[in-house]
Chain A
Amino acid sequence: MKEKIEQMCNQAKEKIAEVKKSNELQELKIKYLGKKGEITSILRGMSELKPEERPAIGSLVNKVRDKLEELIKEKENEFKQKEIQEKLEKEKIDITLPSTKIKRGSKHPINRIIEEIEDLFVSMGYDVVAGPELETDEFCFERLNLPKGHPARDMQDSFYITNEYLLRTQTSAVQARTMLAKKGIEPIRMLCTGKTYRREDDATHSHQFNQVEGLVIDKKENNVSLADLKGTLEVFVRKLIGDNLDLRFRPSYFPFTEPSYEVDVTCFKCGGKGCALCKKTGWIEVLGAGIVHPNVLKINGYNPEEYGGFAFGTGIDRLAMFKYAIPDMRYLYANDVRFLNQFDRRDID
């Protein structure tokens, strides 16, 4: 009996070692370990043994069974590993082939700058307000202290549709609308961005361009002053154009502010040394700003004795050109797909 078991064991070991295919292994597993397999039949035959022989043989059979189970398991693992290896080998690809392009769009540089400016001022508590582009003479001019006949509103400079309606020449038109909406009592911190139109078209002027306009109005006792305007514009210029730039407030004249200033910034091309861009002055005119004219307050429902504030505005196109090193203003409006495609990633902070 003992010999018979050992012989069966050796035979099984040989066969397991030789087996090449997974299904053959399964057949061997059934042949030896299955319900009707050889081990089972040996165990069944135990009853024919003498009782004193039984424990020794029983323990031998168990040992053999454990051994065979172990070997089969090992072999199974081997086959599984092989199979996986084959699958991996089969699925090998050229990883340098081009990717499937997940089409990514792009944001127009002008709107990038607009969003950046809006975010900056929203963070300082400004409300971004929109106004109509098809404006009335009243809001574009009259309510900004530019009565009819004023030299600053020459007919040639504006696109009129009728005597009353025109394409807004400046985002300042939104100042008056905001003041009226706030009914002469609420403090204002507003920003307006958007398209503006003037009747001129050349290498440096597009008849359609973009502006940003800011307006702060508060009670006199809160002292919204020229110093505050200066500080605000310092933040604006340094965040948007460059950390180390200086500002120069040059007194100027706008009908809707008094005092009025044109604000120059250190030439961002030459750093103030003087170059073609700054016409050798070292400065580039960037903003117009000032203290809101009492007439503008009065016309739009705020008592100039009780309220005061500042306003500022600037063109966005030139900022975009500078920020993205765009050499020609016309590129902004040509919408060449090869141009647009370049603005397809996030801006660095």
Chain B
Amino acid sequence: MKLSKNFVKDYVDIDVDLKTLAEDMTRVGNEYDSAEKLINATNLVIGKVIECKEHLDSDHLHVCKVDVGNEVLNIVCGAPNVRENLKVIVALVGAELPGNVKIKKGEIRGQESNGMICSIAELGLESKFLKEEDKAGICELGEDAIVGEDPIKYLGLDDEVIDFELTANRGDLLSILGMAYEIGAIYNKQVKEIDLSYKENGKDINDEFNIDIQTDNCSLFLAKKVENLEIKESPTFIKNRLIASGIRPINNVVDISNYVMLETGQPLHFYDADRLGNKLIVRMAHNNEKLTTLDNIERELDENDIVIADAEKPIGLAGVMGGLTTEVENDTKNIIIESAKFDSVKVRKTSKKILRSEASNRFEKGIDPNRTYMAIKRACNLLEKYAKGTVKTGIVAYDKTDKNPKNIEIEFKNINDVLGTSISNEEIIDVFKRLGFKTQEKEKSVVVEVPTRRLDISIKEDLIEEVSRIYGVDNIQGKLPKVEMKRGSYNKVERDIRNRMIALGLNETLTYVLINEAESHKYTKDDFEELRLLDPLTEERNTLRYSLIPSLMKTYEYNKARNIQDISIFELGKGFYKKGEEYGENLKLCCLMTGEYNIGIHNRKKVDFYIIKGIVEEVLNYLGYENRYSFIKPKSMPEEFHTGQTAEISVNNDIVGIIGKLHPEVVKDDVYIFEINIDKLLTKKVGKMKYKEISKFPSIKKDLSVIVDKDVTCEQIQKVMKNSGGSLLVNIEAFDLYQDKIIGQNKKSITYSLEFRDDKRTLVDEEVNEKMNNIIQDVEKKLNAEIRK
């Protein structure tokens, strides 16, 4: 809402400058975007061209002598309409005009030029407000302009404008009157009366005209007739105020409808009475019904649009825009004024679909029914005054609204309790008085009569807000709540996982949850329905991720494209799914590694399966799952994974994640990934951390190298060892892997360190040797193994 300071001063006195006004309005909740002069130009003066000769070196320039009051200036001017005796706007040397134009002393083709004769366009008015003649040449001032004085003032453009960004609940501030009440409350000033006087003439309108309201979406509809109008240009003050408010002046009649809307916040519509029948119908549109609106565009309507219609067809889109057929034109003589209240939700839907207008903006925010009456009277007043109209007696009215003010009773204590203040009863009552609310004080409470213009106030809490606004939150001293002491809490395990991963050398990422539909079933064999957005912003991100792997792959690609080779990243975030009728999400830990892990000249190491497996084990061990997990060769695996380097991560015999190298067809680099469903993992039980007695007896360690077929797994070998070693074999550790031609292409040798111990006595060599023999026999027999000597 652009507020013209000159306009609002009709209704309230303002003693402060524009910036202060804007800041003070902000403090009571009305933010602004800009606060500026309507014309932002300096050093302008009214001048009179006393001599005008053609420039000898140019076919269009003129050399003028211009009297600016205290001196006569030589100015070169290129406008076709410059001539002797014309009163003009002169920008003196040193003047600054909009668009960063600075006027300097100069010479144009050999002729001295000490200033510039200006057009209206050069003063910075938006082009939509300019007439053809404004664009074609310099501005011609009237004979009554006084040389040496301020031309902006003469033109009535000496206005200042604040562009407010209003909150959705303050529809009342979409009017000059509403603004006047707000400003009056801040500075404790009385709001002046609006002039609604006019003379009624002739027979009652109800004798010749009627309305038929066929929908509940119109709760109030008023119509009056004004005759014998004289259509012409509006008076300067009306034009300038419309311009300051951002509305293009058209003619006096159309301008008055906009002027009244600005003043009262009630949009009006004027119909050419002679092109309208004797009846207006308000109804819902039929599906596929057509209407050509004022802007000459044919609109297709549906049953959710409210229309104004004659007997056959719609002639206006209620609350949004009028129709072309009954438009006020230059030859219009008689008009019907419509002032009505339409359902805000319906208007919002229609305007969103078709067009947002000044009118729809106001209907959406709600209309005070008393203003509906005020506006139609004000329009009659102005039409009589500025368009020579004669107002016909009577009003056609349909009214289902409640126009009584609301009474809300609130205890003084309640206000102070909620605000945490000790504001006196007098101060509280003063706030309501400033706002123009009537009050009735009781012993402990006050009954506040809230005028209907304040549609946003309906409960006690709204009144508390008013007190805090006008009293000023700056005047409230902050403190901390007095509450029972207690310990706060947070999700520690999530942080522990994050910190563990970071300690292991991984960079934490934060990626987008939205991915492309085509990626949503990748990297997983799980059964779920993908979650697609109804209305995505881009097709690239139209689906919620199930797995974090696509997100981390994007991050990998982004870095790879920037020539970054060593990437070790992880993310702890949500994956989403639909399964049957259930919508859900899981916290997942995903990690991607490629390139080198330890970087430096001493121990460079390419990431391999065993490094990322080490990360998984480290996290699982840290969370307490040591000895409760295993890595299992998947029965079927997602096709994006390497068939020979992928495993399922199983905890307590339940799959919680996947680990592996990506398939060479998916990515050329050696990229390793794991993903664990943390929500699922954390349902698995963990034992408490507890001290275990350290054995007082020494252990005996024996090494054993086993040559087996390549496909025999380390886990299989250890299982056999464990079985035959029994309880004395307390630890098996593989510490060397060996493969070469001598032992055979399809063989491998693993060397184990076996530790034997009895916690009740010292073992003797003989029994350990016996166990070792058992173990050797078993691995030879069961795994077809050979023992390296």
Instruction: List chain A positions with a Cβ less than 8 A from chain B.
Output: 97-108, 110-111, 115, 118, 121-128, 130, 132-134, 149, 151-152, 154-156, 159-162, 165, 167, 187, 189, 195, 197, 199-201, 207-208, 216, 218, 220, 222-228, 230-235, 247-253, 258-262, 291, 293-294, 308, 332-338, 340-341
Give chain B nearest CB distance to A223 CB in angstroms: 5
Min Cβ gap B36→A in Å is 12
| Shortest distance from the beta carbon of A180 to any chain B beta carbon, whole Å | 18
Complex CA gap A143/B532 in Å reads 25
Taking a contact as CB atoms under 8 Å apart, the answer to whether A160 and B508 are in contact is no
CA distance A35 to B467 in the complex (A): 110
B219 adjacent to chain A (CB < 8 Å): no
Cβ contact within 8 Å between B483 and A134: no
| Inter-chain contact A250/B488, CB cutoff 8 Å | no
- Minimum CB–CB distance from A151 to chain B (whole Å) comes to 5
* Nearest CB on A from B573, distance (A): 8
- A22 shortest CB reach to chain B, Å: 34
Name the A residues within 8 Å of B421 (CB-CB): 225-227
B513 at interface by CB-CB < 8 Å: yes
A43 shortest CB reach to chain B, Å: 44
CA distance A226 to B467 in the complex (A): 12
20 A-B pairs with CB atoms under 8 Å apart are A97-B601, A100-B602, A101-B599, A103-B598, A105-B504, A106-B507, A133-B513, A134-B544, A159-B537, A160-B533, A161-B532, A200-B537, A218-B481, A223-B420, A226-B419, A226-B421, A253-B168, A258-B461, A333-B511, A340-B508
Residues of B within 8 A of A227 (CB): 419-421, 476-479
Which residue of B has the minimal Cβ distance to A264?
B26
Chain B residues near A187 (CB-CB < 8 A): 483-484
Please, which residues of chain A bring their CB within 8 A of the CB of B485?
A: 125
The answer to whether residues A337 and B567 also contact, given A108-B508, A134-B583, A207-B537 and a CB cut-off of 8 A, is yes
Which A residues are CB-close (under 8 A) to B603? 100
Cβ–Cβ contact A160 & B534, under 8 A: yes
Docked-complex contact A149 and B345, CB < 8 angstroms: yes
Q: How far is the CB of A335 from chain B (nearest CB, A)?
A: 4
CB nearest to A156 among chain B residues: B535
Pick the most buried of B27, B462, B481, B501: most chain A CB atoms within 10 A of its CB.
Answer: B481
Known interface pairs A101-B599, A223-B420. Does A336 touch B562 (Cβ–Cβ under 8 Å)? Answer: yes
- Which one of A105, A128, A152, A200 lies within 8 Å of B502 (CB-CB)? A105
Q: Given known contacts A337-B559, A338-B564, A341-B507, is B535 in contact with A155 (CB within 8 Å)?
A: yes
Contact present for B535 and A208 (CB under 8 Å):
no
Closest 4 CB pairs of A and B: A227-B420, A103-B505, A225-B420, A251-B29
Whether A291 lies near B461 (C-beta < 8 A) is yes
- B585: contacting residue among A106, A134, A162, CB under 8 A: A134
Q: How far is the CB of B681 from chain A (nearest CB, A)?
A: 17
Q: How far apart are the CA atoms of A99 and B502 in the complex, in Å?
A: 20
Q: Which interface residue of B348, B420, B511, B538 has the most chain A CB atoms within 10 A?
A: B420
Contact B600 A100 (CB under 8 A): yes
Given contacts A197-B514, A337-B507, 14 further A-B contacts (CB under 8 A): A98-B602, A99-B600, A105-B502, A105-B568, A107-B499, A118-B490, A134-B576, A220-B417, A222-B483, A224-B481, A250-B29, A251-B469, A260-B465, A333-B510
| B286 lies within 8 A of chain A by Cβ | no
- Of the candidates A107, A130, A249, A252, the one whose C-beta lies within 8 Å of that of B508 is A107
B408 → A minimal CB distance (Å): 13
User: What are the residues of chain B within 8 A of A134 when measuring CB–CB?
Assistant: 531, 544, 574, 576, 583-585
Alpha-carbon distance between A189 and B485 when the two chains are bound, in angstroms: 11
Find chain A residues with CB under 8 A from B419 CB: 225-227
Chain B residues 466-484 with CB under 8 Å of chain A are 468-469, 473-474, 476-484
Closest residue of chain A to B536, judged by CB? A159
Contact with A along B602-616 (1 / 0, CB 8 A): 110000000000000
B487 touches A125 (CB 8 A): yes
Verify A108–B510 contact, CB threshold 8 A. Answer: yes
Residue numbers in B under 8 Å from A261 (CB-CB): 473
Q: Is B692 at the interface (CB under 8 A from chain A)?
A: no
A98-B486 in contact given A105-B501, A151-B168 (Cβ < 8 Å): no
SS class of chain A's interface: helix, strand, loop or mixed? mixed
Q: How far is the CA of A332 from the CA of B544 in the complex (A)?
A: 20
Contact pick for B574, options A133, A218, A258, A293, CB 8 Å:
A133
Indicate whether B215 reaches chain A with its CB closer than 8 angstroms. no
> How far apart are the CA atoms of A332 and B509 in the complex, in Å?
9
For window 492-545 of chain B, which residues contact chain A by CB distance below 8 Å?
A: 495, 498-499, 501-514, 531-538, 541, 544
Are B535 and A189 within 8 A (Cβ)? Answer: no
| Chain A residues closer than 8 Å to B506, beta-carbon distance | 105
Q: A125-B487, A220-B417, A230-B478 are in contact. Are A340 and B509 (CB under 8 A)?
A: yes
- Shortest CB distance B483–A (Å): 6
Q: B19-36: which have CB < 8 Å to A?
A: 26-29, 31
Measured in the bound complex, the distance between the Cα atoms of B509 and A106 in whole Å is 9
Tell me, yes or no, whether B452 is within 8 Å of chain A by CB: no
Q: Give Cα A308 to B460, complex, Å.
A: 13
For the complex, what is the distance from the CA of A261 to the CA of B464, rounded to whole Å?
13
| A194 CB to nearest chain B CB (Å) | 9
Q: Is B58 an interface residue (CB 8 A)?
A: no
Question: How far apart are the CA atoms of A294 and B544 in the complex, in Å?
Answer: 35
Chain B 409-426 per-residue mask, 1 if CB under 8 angstroms from chain A, else 0: 000000001111100000
Out of A97, A107, A121, A228, which one reaches B481, CB within 8 Å? Answer: A228
Encoded as 1 (CB less than 8 Å from any A CB) or 0, chain B from 624 to 648 comes to 0000000000000000000000000
Q: What is the CA–CA distance of A121 and B536 in the complex, to the nearest angstrom?
A: 36
Closest A residue to B490 by beta carbon equals A128
Chain A residue nearest in CB terms to B469: A251
Give Cα A153 to B506, complex, Å.
39
Contact A107 B476 (CB under 8 A): no
* Contact A122 B489, beta carbon cutoff 8 Å: yes
Known: A103-B598, A128-B488, A294-B459. A337 touches B478 (CB 8 A): no
User: B491 contacts A228, CB within 8 Å?
Assistant: no
Contacts of B544 in A (CB 8 A): 134, 161, 167
B418 near A160 with CB under 8 A, answer: no
Question: Are A106 and B502 in contact, with the CB atoms below 8 A?
Answer: yes
Cβ-neighbour of B512 out of A149, A200, A208, A259 (below 8 A): A208
Is B513 a contact partner of A195 (Cβ separation < 8 A)? yes
Q: How far is the CB of B565 from chain A (nearest CB, A)?
A: 10
Contact status B473-A226, CB under 8 Å? yes
- Known contacts A100-B600, A106-B507, A248 near B474 by CB under 8 Å: yes
- Candidate in A105, A111, A338, A340 with the most chain B CB atoms within 10 angstroms: A105
Distance, CA A184 to CA B477, complexed state (A): 30
Task: Tell me which residues across on chain B come within 8 A of A101, comparing CB atoms.
Answer: 598-600
Whether B600 and A251, one on each chain, are in contact in the complex, defined by CB atoms closer than 8 angstroms, is: no
| A251 close to B473 (CB less than 8 A) | yes
Given A97-B601, A227-B420, A251-B468, the answer on whether A189 and B483 have CB atoms closer than 8 Å is yes
Q: Judge whether B169 is part of the interface by a CB distance below 8 angstroms.
A: yes
Bound CA–CA A336/B558 (angstroms) = 7
> Per a CB cutoff under 8 Å, which of A97, A99, A165, A259 touches B461?
A259
Cβ–Cβ < 8 Å partners of A124 in chain B: 480, 488
**By the criterion CB–CB under 8 Å, are B31 and A232 in contact?**
no
Among A124, A134, A332, residue most surrounded by chain B Cβ atoms (within 10 Å): A134
Please indicate which of the listed interface residues A100, A104, A259 has the most CB atoms of chain B within 10 Å of its own CB.
A259
Q: Which residues of A contact B569 (CB under 8 A)?
A: 335, 337, 340
A97 CA to B600 CA, complexed, in Å: 10
Closest approach, in angstroms, between the C-beta of A26 and any C-beta of chain B?
33
Interface-central residue, A101, A208, A337, by most chain B CB under 10 Å: A337
Instruction: Give Cα A293–Cα B364 distance, bound, in whole angstroms.
Output: 22
Indicate which residue in B474, B489, B573, B601 contacts A128 across the interface (CB closer than 8 Å): B489
Cβ B459 vs Cβ A189 within 8 A: no
Closest chain B residue, CB of each to CB of A341 = B507
Residues of B within 8 A of A156 (CB): 535
CA distance A159 to B502 in the complex (A): 32
Give the residues in chain B near A260, CB-CB below 8 Å.
465
